[in-house]
Amino acid sequence: MNREDKKRLTRQNVLNAAIELFAEQSYEATTITQITERAGIAKGTFFNYFANKEDLICDIQVIWAVEEVRRIKEQPGLLIPHIRYLIMQIDKFHASRQLMLAVNQGIISSPKAIRNQLEQIDELVKALTEVIEEGQRRGEFTSSLPAAMICEIAIQTYLGTRLYWSMGRGDSNLGTQMVVTFELFFKSIMA
């Protein structure tokens, strides 16, 4: 194994340790010392990979699946089934309520983390808006609202469901909760 591989391994090691701890306790409660102990490395090593805890949360960032969203608009026929399918995948990435709570804590914990989060949302908005526009062109979605607005409300809906679920409410499975919630949402934007 060469140096590069080893570095990647150590980095992932740190990330895994952090995720574990976030899932066990919370973002705030997790200290860098705990992370390095769990990862089995020296405290100083952490700072070779991340400038601080904020920096780390950015890397743990929920995969927003922007690529998958982009691909949807190329699909023939109805778009909603494809979106629904994507939503059902969500719980693959959202292990536990505790972890999601920690992520929610993390992304609003500091101006920097928020900025990072907004950038990711921006990208998603762009990709998703195109999908909705395509849906409007095809007559699948209502055109009574601008695509951008529908898109933002969709993201709000996603965030709200995630937050609510992470606080311990809703179906025990986040995917299920998401699907139910979005069924209602789809109904409201269908032409």
Partner DNA sequence: AATGAATGAGGTTTCATTCAT
Partner DNA sequence: AATGAATGAAACCTCATTCAT
Residues in the chain: 191
Among 40-48, 57-65, 97-105, 155-163, the segment contacting DNA (CB under 7 A):
40-48
Distance CA 116, CA 124 (A): 13
Distance CA 175, CA 172 (A): 9
Binder among 15, 16, 20, 41 for DNA (CB under 7 A): 41
Binder among 3, 77, 111, 172 for DNA (CB under 7 A): 3
Shortest distance in whole angstroms from residue 60 CB to a copy of itself = 16
Residue 7 or 75: the one with the smaller Cβ distance to a copy of itself is 7
Residue 44 or 168: the one with the smaller Cβ distance to DNA is 44
Contacts of 77 (CB under 8 A, 6+ apart): none
Q: Does 6 bind a copy of itself (CB under 8 A)?
A: no
Rounded to 10 degrees, the C-alpha dihedral 111/66/160/103 comes to -50
Shortest distance in whole angstroms from residue 156 CB to a copy of itself = 4
DSSP of 17-34: HHHHHHHHS-TTT--HHH
8 Å CB contact between 115 and 54 = no
From the list a copy of itself, DNA, none, partner contacted by residue 58 (C-beta under 5 to 8 A by kind): none
Residue 50 or 182: the one with the smaller Cβ distance to a copy of itself is 182
